[in-house]
Chain A
Amino acid sequence: QSVLTQPPSVSGAPGQRISISCTGSSSNIGTGYGVHWYQQFPGTAPKLLIYGNNNRPSGVPDRFSGSMSGTSASLAIAGLQAEDEADYYCQSYDSSLSGSLFGGGTKLTVL
């Protein structure tokens, strides 16, 4: 079981705003280690979406945003589009594990 907990699935209609939570603990997000988010389409490699809690790499639309508070982080997608349907993973460092870890992933369905 992942130390970073994500909802297995979320859904929303086109144009809506959704958020995906990533709940950690005092040994990872709560210690201030950055949270990063990845997007993965079926059969393809993951792609970096957000790094360092709330930074977008070049080419990622500003509809995607990240935030962090306490021991949790969130990925928000505004103006939902059909092509956003994918799996999303959060990631951080855990000091008790002395390594990186991923959340279990969230499947986004665009209705």
Chain B
Amino acid sequence: LAKTTQPISMDSYEGQEVNITCSHNNIATNDYITWYQQFPSQGPRFIIQGYKTKVTNEVASLFIPADRKSSTLSLPRVSLSDTAVYYCLVGETGGFKTIFGAGTRLFVKA
């Protein structure tokens, strides 16, 4: 089971690009990397998932280096509404391999 490490919190300003890095040194060959976002009083929401290199969708980009021991979630031009907790998960999630850690609390300031 791959353990993940990510910063506890980050601050940013509106309009900036935010990069949140997650370390997962013991990621297994078949493991995917998944990011969720959680707003106050809501359940987590799936943002993006990847296996290697780069994945981009309408919300974010996910960069995964060749060794896959880390990954970086990139949020372009954040707004106040991007203030949330961001969770990095590795491996097959949904069973008892699922580990939602403490996540990264992102504060976006005006």
A joins B in a complex? no
